[in-house]
Amino acid sequence: MPETIDLLLLGAGQLITCRGPRKGPLRGKSLSDPGCIEDGAIAVTGGRISAIGTRDEVTAALRGAGAARTIDAGGRVVMPGWVDPHTHAVFAGYRADEYEARIRGDNYLEIEKRGGGIKRSVREVREISEEKLFEISRRRLLRMLEQGVTTIEIKTGYGLDLDSEMKMLRVIARLGRETPLDVVATFMGAHQVPPGFAGAGEYVDLIVKEMIPAVAESGLARFIDVFCEKGVFDVAQTRRILEAGKEYGFGLKLHADEIYSIGGTALAVEMGAVSVDHLTMITPADIASLAGSGTVGVLLPSTSFGLASRRFAPARDLVGSGAAVALSTDFNPGSAPSSSMPLAVSIACSQMGLVPAEAVNAATYNAACALGLEKETGSLETGKKADIVVYDVADYREIPSRAGLNHAAIVVKEGRVVWEAADLRDRSEVGL
């Protein structure tokens, strides 16, 4: 231990570590263990956690070392930063009129046929300047940071031609450089078939022969994703795109079983995808297949909520089977316009039957597993990035139960305070 550490956090009433196994995601009963330490403390050196445990344990580990900065959590909850592993956060504008249309009875596919949905966002992204697209996206990410998100995945897919997709990738890369968040880029040129093509097959040719090689050469994306869905890309077309992406070194992700079950989950498992996302319509056979694999099922409760749907992914069946599950916002301009991870966690509890510890672990450690980042972030453990959030609650279960509020008080990214609530002492109910 050096003579002076960078940050010392003391006084965590509940230090929720979300500690994972030595390898892979939390599953089954282990998902319901929040890893709670009472009167917890954390020491940070060089942006990483150098000691964690009770106050007495960390104080002993310091061996008299001083701290450049000390934070007293004052009995509040301390947790890892949220990891949001599935978003479409780079877009031009929201589609609030479609929200009203769905409430009136129109479904997702009907809105698409009228030129709304993804098609509309594609038109808007193609028209907006790169600078403006960056600036509005930057402001969105800072709002997410204020709620405790410290790592985010962002997909392309609102460009659907090479120039526009590359514009989105450059914006995503710049967001990673110019905001405190860790930003992971996913190329999703296979989000939909754009106008001007005779069919999906012709567009798949373009993706495979031109777009994937160009994106790979740019080095701007870590993953490739495909919307495997009826009326979008079938299993054979999805396989072809993923095989091409794998050949160029991309990690694999899939949108699957959102509206219809057409075999996307089975394909994801077969190809060793890091995650398969949505799963609203997943079958019992596919649940069993997923449970026997290393692929993480990313559930998106805010999407069903935003679509005014009563149908949610069968989270309890998935957890009971031993499948690895994570949570995400699916933040996008239409079907899931909420960027709130706490809201997604709350919906997962109230509508999908996850208990708070399961939902918290799914939105932190398992979410990091869905990005291949579990060795770096997603839990509070020695050696990992010091991505820490102090919440102005006395019990972590208040975060999902007291929905609709931002309970974050202090957000720390790699040992540096990047956001702090104003007038916390005057507003807090904790410790009175």
CA angle 146, 147, 152 (to 5 degrees): 90
CB atoms within 10 A of CB 70: 12
Q: What residues contact residue 263 under an 8 Å CB cut-off, 6+ apart? A: 228, 235
Alpha carbons 397 and 329: distance in angstroms, whole number: 19
Domains of the chain listed by start with CATH number? 4-80+379-427 (2.30.40.10), 82-369 (3.20.20.140)
What's the mean pLDDT when you consider all of the chain? 96
Question: What pTM was estimated for this model as a whole?
Answer: 0.97
DSSP string, 208-238: IIIIHHHHHHHT--SEEEEEE-TTSB-HHHH
Mean pLDDT of the region 209-228:
98
Query: Between vectors from CA 19 to CA 16 and to CA 22, what angle results, nearest 5°?
Result: 175
Residue 67 and residue 110 in contact, taking contact as beta carbons nearer than 8 Å = no
Helix (H, G, I), strand (E, B) or coil at 173: helix
CB-based contact 85:370 (threshold 8 Å): yes
CB burial string 254-279: b at 16+ within 10 A, e below: bbbbbbebbbbbbbbbebebbbbbbb
Q: Say what the pLDDT of residue 104 is.
A: 87
pLDDT band at 187 (very low <50, low <70, confident <90, very high): very high
The single-letter DSSP state of residue 207 is I
Query: Would you state the structure tokens that stand for residue 231, as one six-digit string?
Result: 């009326």
When pLDDT is averaged across residues 112-136 and rounded to a whole number, the result is 93
DSSP class of 428 = -
How much is the pLDDT for 411?
98
Copy the structure tokens of residue 297: 């099922």
For the segment 69-111, what is each residue's pLDDT rounded down to a tens digit?
A: 999 999 999 999 999 999 999 999 999 998 888 888 887 778 8
From 96, 304, 306, 406, select the one nearest 315 (Cα to Cα).
304
pLDDT digits (tens, 9 = 90+) for 307-365: 989 999 999 999 999 999 999 999 999 999 999 999 999 999 999 999 999 999 999 99
**What crossing angle do the helices spanning 284-291 and 264-271 adopt, rounded to 10°?**
20
DSSP at 248? T
CA distances from 43 to 12, 60, 134, 329, 355 (A): 12, 11, 35, 31, 30
Give one DSSP letter per residue of 366-394, joined into a string: HHHHTTT-TTTSSS--TTSB--EEEES-S
Q: Are 292 and 313 in contact (CB under 8 A)?
A: no
